[in-house]
Amino acid sequence: MNNPLGPQPLRLGVNIDHVATIRNARGGGFPDPVRAAKLAEDAGCDGITAHLREDRRHISDGDIERLIDQLKVPLNFEMAATDEMLDIALEHKPHAACLVPEKREERTTEGGLDAAGGHNHLKPYIDALNNAGIRVSLFVEPDPRQLDAAVSLGAPVVELHTGAYCDARQVTREAQLERIIVAAVHAGDLGLECHAGHGLTFDTVAPVASLPQIAELNIGHFLVGEAIFGGLDSAIRRMRALMDKARADSTNQRSA
Ligand code: PXP
């Protein structure tokens, strides 16, 4: 069953982790990720994403507290399924929590969560977050098996990992995009809210944004990098415009 109400509006969540990465390179207080989050709000984002890692390599506990206090848009709290992170989520009650795999040695979140193989480990965390009224999403590979597992775990949202699509060379990118299309349709059929993100840029965002099942894109590293050249405000506005155009074009094509 694909969404009977037709295509959903596409939200942009801005991930501010790497503003904190730059701050932490010098150990001081700037650039401040909370200032970046407020600027992102003013530039028209629909939500802020922040990943509190076990090693606190970018976002800190204090950043999460200030985001909760100061944001007007919803906070999507990215977290590993650990007791420490669950306690922090339950203390702050963000709008949403996105469960991600976390390896200490990785540079970024490499690959999705094994929702299928990790059922017994994940289930109590998902139950506790659901019971607290926090909207749970699972960051998974665009693999229908993982979406079936999200349903059996009781997670209402999945976020499809777009890293392999973004990293692929042109020849193999089509095949990676096809995986995302198949997964987005399957998510719609299962009644899951479908998000996507990781590695998206001005060049790669449109084909993903055009998929009617996708309700939200979460984008960080590229926007923070672009901010060096033209400012964060302009990078976010351009990304938003590309997303909106891709979505409008695909809606028009389908209704023509
Ligand atoms: N979504 C999730 C679940 C992520 O872990 C990340 C990276 O932290 C992103 C989206 C954003 O990826 P990027 O920073 O490459 O845009």
| pLDDT exceeds cutoff 70 at 8 | no
- The full set of domain ranges for the chain reads 11-255
Cβ(218)–Cβ(195) below 8 Å: yes
pLDDT in tens, 93-133: 999 999 999 876 666 667 899 999 999 999 999 999 999 99
In which element (H, E) is residue 76 found?
A: strand 75-79
CATH superfamily of 11-255: Aldolase class I (3.20.20.70)
Task: Calculate how far, in angstroms, residue 255's C-alpha sits from the geometric centre of ligand 1.
Answer: 32
**Residue appearing with tokens 């503003």:** 19
Of all residues in the chain, what percent carry a pLDDT higher than 70? 95
8-state DSSP, 31? S
Q: Whose CA is nearest to atom 4 of ligand 1?
A: 198
pLDDT in tens, 173-228: 999 999 999 999 999 999 999 999 999 999 999 999 999 999 999 999 999 999 99
Instruction: Give the CA diameter of the chain.
Output: 55
Averaged pLDDT score across all residues of the chain = 94
Cβ(231)–Cβ(173) below 8 Å: no
In which element (H, E) is residue 15 found?
A: strand 11-15
What pLDDT was estimated at residue 112?
93
> Is pTM beyond 0.85 here?
yes
| pLDDT exceeds cutoff 50 at 1 | no
Cis check for the bond before 31: say yes or no (omega within 30 of 0).
yes
Question: CA 29 to CA 47: how far, in whole Å?
Answer: 23
For ligand 1, is residue 100 a contact (CB within 6 Å)? yes
Pick from 59, 78, 99, 167 the residue to mutate for probing ligand 1's pocket: most ligand atoms within 8 Å of its CB: 78
What pLDDT was estimated at residue 9?
83
> Six-digit token pair at 222?
């590229």
Query: Which residues form the catalytic set?
Result: 51, 78, 198
For ligand 1, is residue 194 a contact (CB within 6 Å)? no
What pLDDT was estimated at residue 181?
98
**Residue appearing with tokens 């944004």:** 209
Pick from 165, 221, 236 the residue to mutate for probing ligand 1's pocket: most ligand atoms within 8 Å of its CB: 221
